[in-house]
Chain A
Amino acid sequence: ETGVTQTPRHLVMGMTNKKSLKCEQHLGHNAMYWYKQSAKKPLELMFVYNFKEQTENNSVPSRFSPECPNSSHLFLHLHTLQPEDSALYLCASSQARDRPYNEQFFGPGTRLTVL
Chain B
Amino acid sequence: AQKVTQAQTEISVVEKEDVTLDCVYETRDTTYYLFWYKQPPSGELVFLIRRNSFDEQNEISGRYSWNFQKSTSSFNFTITASQVVDSAVYFCALSEARDTGANNLFFGTGTRLTVIP
Q: Does B77 contact A (CB under 8 A)?
A: no
Kindly identify which residue among B43, B47, B97 contacts A101, using a CB–CB cutoff of 8 Å.
Answer: B97
| Chain A residues in 8 Å Cβ range of B110 | 42
Distance A55 CA – B42 CA, assembled complex (angstroms): 29
Q: Does B64 contact A (CB under 8 A)?
A: no
In the complex, are the beta carbons of B101 and A50 less than 8 A apart?
Answer: yes
A-B pair count, CB < 8 Å, reads 74
B interface residue count range (under 10 / 10 to 19 / 20 to 34 / 35 or more) = 20 to 34
Q: Considering only CB atoms and an 8 Å cut-off, how many residues of chain A contact the other chain?
A: 32
Distance A31 CA – B91 CA, assembled complex (angstroms): 21
- Contact of A56 with B100 at beta-carbon distance under 8 Å, contacts A88-B43, A103-B50 already known: no
A sample of 23 inter-chain contacts (CB < 8 A) reads A31-B101, A31-B102, A42-B108, A42-B109, A43-B105, A48-B102, A49-B102, A50-B101, A96-B101, A96-B102, A96-B103, A100-B98, A100-B103, A101-B33, A101-B50, A101-B95, A101-B97, A102-B103, A103-B50, A104-B105, A106-B37, A106-B47, A109-B44
